[in-house]
Amino acid sequence: METIEISPSKVTENSFNHIPFQESLREAFDILNQVYSKRPKTFKQNTYVATYCNGREYGFKITAGLKSVCFAQDRHTDEIVVYIGDIGEFACAGNIPSDDIYLNKKLFAYNEKEKAAQFIINFCEKSLLNLTKK
């Protein structure tokens, strides 16, 4: 079986145009691309990406240190929603994060993908910095 590697460093805006993704997942890919195109060098060694699904929200989870950040298109609007939690939160196997996580979500307007990406980068940098202080 042939394995196809999709490296975040090689993801471009047009990388997935031939794949019929659900539109909300395409938005998440755009943000993921921005995060990893601007990423600090330490991201490559100290973060990992997984898929995130919560009902009609499809996106990605980036784990940095002992924290995770998930982002997707909000299920009720076109806004970008960002959730922050501990490393064990947001498993695709079906665990449900606490109400506090949902209540403390960060929303960005549909046209603020770059701002959302920078928020995610800042969160990951802070999380990795906190890990090295312990």
Report, as an integer, the average pLDDT of 97-122: 91
In the numeric block, the tokens 């997707």 are attached to 72
The strand order across the sheet containing 67-73 reads: 47-54, 57-64, 67-73, 80-86, 106-108
Q: Where are the domains of the chain?
A: 22-133
85 backbone dihedrals φ, ψ, rounded to 5° = -160, -175
pLDDT digit string, tens, across residues 61-73: 999 988 999 999 8
Report, as an integer, the average pLDDT of 50-60: 83
Which positions ≥6 away from 46 have C-beta within 8 Å? 64, 65, 128
CB atoms closer than 10 angstroms to residue 58: 21
What pLDDT was estimated at residue 117? Answer: 94
pLDDT digit string, tens, across residues 5-50: 455 555 555 555 555 556 668 888 889 988 888 876 767 778 889 8
pLDDT at 96 over 70: no
